[in-house]
């Protein structure tokens, strides 16, 4: 039996192995691998019948549902490129992305189309809108747009397929845009399939697994729940949740064996009581999108002691990068681990030479998961995707063709045993009293006090310190207010003087998130400056 090489083959190969196995379920409905493979093929044929050219983009602006999954795999199966749009985005943000990468076909719901229609004139490349059902949109279509239904798309006659190879584009994933306009990371079939195989291997995903898709599918770690499950022949439960308690209910109801989430969600989940039944079937929980506070990790392990914790690090530009094996968590709970299979993680100085043990440097990712740059942005691409210097690991002088790697912009260190530790993002590092301080270092200590619910630290300009460290925090779940004096006292007891917050401000929780579910540090710091300085 052939192995998966192209993204959509993850489904078709699994369908050959076990056609009647359930591939995806949502809201009490489900589709087997055979049914999903057939729908993906019909979607691809429908897109080709619409005239989709090789490499042209298909935007998907939907919540998690079957049509989202089918079109995400159907577009690359047709030789096109899928562009997932976070359903939390507002119409103006959606239009920016549609225009930025010249989306040709948009798949959405009638309700979302009604919101978008007034601003779609700003998308001259858009030719077709596919609506999930036949309900009439509130606004008539522009004369240049052909509007059809999902049923029409799947009923289209066959059309000649485009040639597709594994280095062709498969997806453009847009970053959250917390530091400016979002950037479109271009990923190939090879990037996404290699990522699925790598992650599924160390998580030991298998046909009996049920993975909960709680993260947005527009987020690399969210979409990875689909690719790893389909590579393994497992089931994915799609969840559009409103409250953290909805996640626990789904985990109990669906007998979830694997959960991947970001620290803000885990912080909220750790403050809730977990149904005992979850621990009977949850095999692992995985963290991505930032360091999980140690107190949160301890609380989660107490709730599901038999589940293995996987602490991971990734960046959209290379899909996934590192993980810490569960057996190492007790020894080094602050580590982001080592490189995932089929990747190499380097720690380099500014001159491109490797750092020594415990020496801070930039995390650089090389290998099959390195993406194809930022769409239509040469300047940003040159900042992150750079040639590895001759003499770098894996680059002997005799090699003539260059190799690009992702220079993450994240500062890390490697210990004597080869385990990596995240220090901070270069553009978020605070320089105060001559010291470089990572906001995550400050937040880790604050969480350890158990006197805050959620918190975020950032630097603000100060005439003598350089940066003053400012903190915004919410009250813990078991308190009625945030005791700022007690928090400051705990900080004085546990922090060096240069790391002490200059001020702590109370906020009602939860703190605002960016579209990928991470606490939006940039937004909070900007709002603070506007309130106090502007």
Q: Are 19 and 12 in contact (CB under 8 A)?
A: no
Q: Is the pTM of this model over 0.75?
A: yes
Structure tokens at 514: 């960016």
Sign of the CA dihedral running 7, 13, 15, 21: negative
* Domains in the chain, CATH or no CATH each: 9-186 (3.40.50.980), 241-424 (3.40.50.12780), 428-532 (3.30.300.30)
Tens-level pLDDT at each residue, the chain (534 residues) = 568 899 999 999 999 999 999 999 999 999 999 999 999 999 999 999 999 999 999 999 999 999 999 999 999 999 999 999 999 888 988 999 999 999 999 999 999 999 999 999 999 999 999 999 976 544 466 667 999 999 999 999 988 889 999 999 999 999 864 345 789 999 999 999 999 999 999 999 999 999 999 999 999 999 999 999 999 999 999 999 989 999 999 999 999 999 999 888 998 999 999 999 999 999 999 999 878 889 999 999 999 999 999 999 988 999 889 999 999 999 999 999 999 999 999 999 998 899 999 999 999 999 999 999 999 999 999 999 999 988 888 888 899 999 999 999 999 999 999 999 988 877 787 878 767 788 888 998 899 999 999 999 999 988 777 789 999 999 998 899 999 999 999 999 988 888 899 999 999 989 998 877 889 998 999 899 888 876
State the virtual CA torsion across 524, 528, 529, 532 in degrees, nearest 10.
180
Q: What is the per-residue pLDDT for 176?
A: 62
> How far apart are the C-alpha atoms of 484 and 490, rounded to whole Å?
10
CB 396 within 8 A of CB 351: no
How would DSSP label each residue in 303-340? HSTTSEEEEEE--GGGS--EEE-GGGTTT-TT--BEEP
Question: Which residues face 520 on adjacent strands?
Answer: none
Q: Which residues of 385-411 are buried (b: 16+ CB within 10 A; e: fewer)?
A: beebeeebeebeeeeeeeebbbbbebb
Q: Which among 224, 271, 207, 201 is positioned nearest to 33, based on CA atoms?
A: 207
H or E, element range at 112: helix 110-116
At 222, give phi and psi (nearest 5°). Answer: -70, -45
Indicate left, alpha or beta for 349 from its phi (over 0: left) and psi (-120 to 50: alpha). beta
DSSP 274: P
Strands 361-367 and 404-414 come out as antiparallel
pLDDT of residue 138: 42
Cβ count within 10 A of residue 19: 15
Element of type H or E holding 16: helix 9-17
**Chain-centre distance for alpha carbon 119:** 27
Question: Which residue(s) pair with 393 in the sheet?
Answer: none
- Tokens for 532? 């106090």
* Three-class SS of 427-492: CCCEEECCEEECHHHHHHHHHHCCCCCCEEEEEEEECCCEEEEEEEECCCCCCCCCCHHHHHHHHH
Query: How far does the chain reach from its first CA to its final CA, in angstroms?
Result: 64
Question: Cis peptide before 510, with omega less than 30 degrees from 0?
Answer: yes
Name residue, tokens 């470089």. Answer: 436
Which residues, in sequence order, are bridge partners of residue 187? 171
Cα–Cα distance measured from residue 141 to residue 202, given in angstroms and rounded to the nearest whole number: 48
- In degrees, to the nearest 5, what angle opens at C-alpha 80 toward C-alphas 79 and 81? 135
Taking CA atoms, 424 is separated from 89, 365, 410, 457, in Å, by 27, 16, 6, 12
> Which pLDDT belongs to residue 137?
45
Phi, psi of 380 (to 5 degrees): -65, -35
**What share of residues in the chain are helix, strand, coil (percent, to 5)?**
35, 25, 40
Shortest CA distance to 103 belongs to which of 76, 123, 132, 131? 123
Residue whose tokens read 């949109």: 137
Q: How far apart are CA 75 and CA 404, in angstroms?
A: 27
* Helices and strands (DSSP H and E) totals, the chain: 16, 26
The torsion of the CA quartet 488, 493, 498, 501, rounded to 10 degrees, works out to -10
């Amino acid at each position: 039996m052939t192995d998966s090489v192209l993204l959509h083959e993850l489904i078709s190969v699994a369908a050959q192995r076990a056609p009647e196995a359930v591939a995806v379920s949502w809201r009490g409905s489900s589709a087997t691998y055979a049914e999903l493979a057939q729908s993906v093929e019909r979607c691809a044929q429908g897109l080709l019948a619409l005239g989709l050219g090789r490499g042209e983009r298909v935007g998907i602006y939907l919540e998690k549902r079957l049509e989202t999954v089918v079109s995400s795999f159907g577009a690359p199966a047709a030789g096109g490129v899928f562009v997932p749009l976070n359903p939390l985005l507002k119409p103006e943000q959606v239009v920016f992305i549609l225009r930025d990468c010249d989306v040709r076909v948009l798949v959405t719901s009638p309700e979302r189309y009604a919101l978008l229609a007034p601003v779609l004139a700003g998308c001259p490349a858009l030719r077709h809108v596919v609506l999930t059902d036949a309900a009439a949109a509130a606004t008539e279509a522009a004369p240049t747009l052909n509007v059809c239904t999902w049923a029409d798309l799947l009923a289209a006659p066959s059309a000649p397929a485009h040639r597709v190879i594994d280095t062709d584009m498969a997806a453009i994933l847009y970053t959250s845009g917390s530091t400016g306009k979002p950037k479109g990371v271009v990923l190939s079939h090879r990037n996404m399939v290699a990522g699925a195989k790598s992650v599924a291997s160390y998580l030991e995903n298998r046909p009996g697994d049920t993975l909960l898709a709680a993260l947005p599918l527009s987020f690399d770690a969210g979409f990875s729940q689909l690719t790893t499950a389909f590579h393994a022949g497992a089931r994915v439960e799609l969840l559009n949740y409103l409250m953290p308690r909805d996640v626990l209910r789904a985990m109990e109801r669906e007998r979830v064996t694997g959960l991947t989430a970001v620290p803000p969600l885990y912080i909220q989940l750790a403050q809730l009581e977990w149904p005992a039944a979850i621990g009977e079937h949850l095999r692992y929980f995985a963290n991505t999108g930032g360091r999980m506070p140690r107190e949160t990790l301890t609380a989660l392990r107490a709730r599901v002691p038999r589940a293995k914790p996987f602490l991971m690090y990734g960046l959209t530009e290379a899909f996934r990068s590192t993980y810490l094996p569960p057996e190492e968590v007790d020894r080094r709970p602050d580590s982001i681990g080592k490189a995932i299979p089929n990747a190499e993680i380097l720690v380099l100085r500014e001159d491109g030479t490797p750092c020594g043990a415990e020496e801070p440097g930039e995390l650089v990712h090389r290998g099959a998961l390195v993406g194809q740059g930022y769409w239509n942005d040469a300047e940003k691409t040159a900042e992150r995707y750079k040639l590895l210097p001759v003499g770098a690991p894996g680059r002997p002088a005799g090699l003539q063709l260059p190799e690009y790697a992702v220079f993450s912009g994240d500062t890390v260190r490697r210990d004597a045993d080869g385990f990596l530790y995240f220090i901070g993002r270069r553009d978020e590092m605070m320089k105060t009293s001559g010291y470089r301080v990572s906001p995550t270092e400050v937040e880790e200590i604050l969480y350890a006090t158990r006197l805050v619910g959620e918190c975020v630290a950032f630097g603000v300009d100060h005439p003598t310190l350089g940066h003053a460290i400012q903190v915004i925090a919410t009250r813990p779940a078991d308190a009625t207010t945030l005791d700022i004096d007690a928090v400051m006292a705990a900080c004085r007891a546990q922090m060096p003087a240069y790391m002490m917050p200059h001020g702590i401000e109370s906020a009602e929780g939860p703190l605002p998130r960016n579209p990928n579910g991470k606490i939006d540090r940039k937004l909070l710091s900007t709002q603070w400056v506007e309130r106090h300085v502007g």
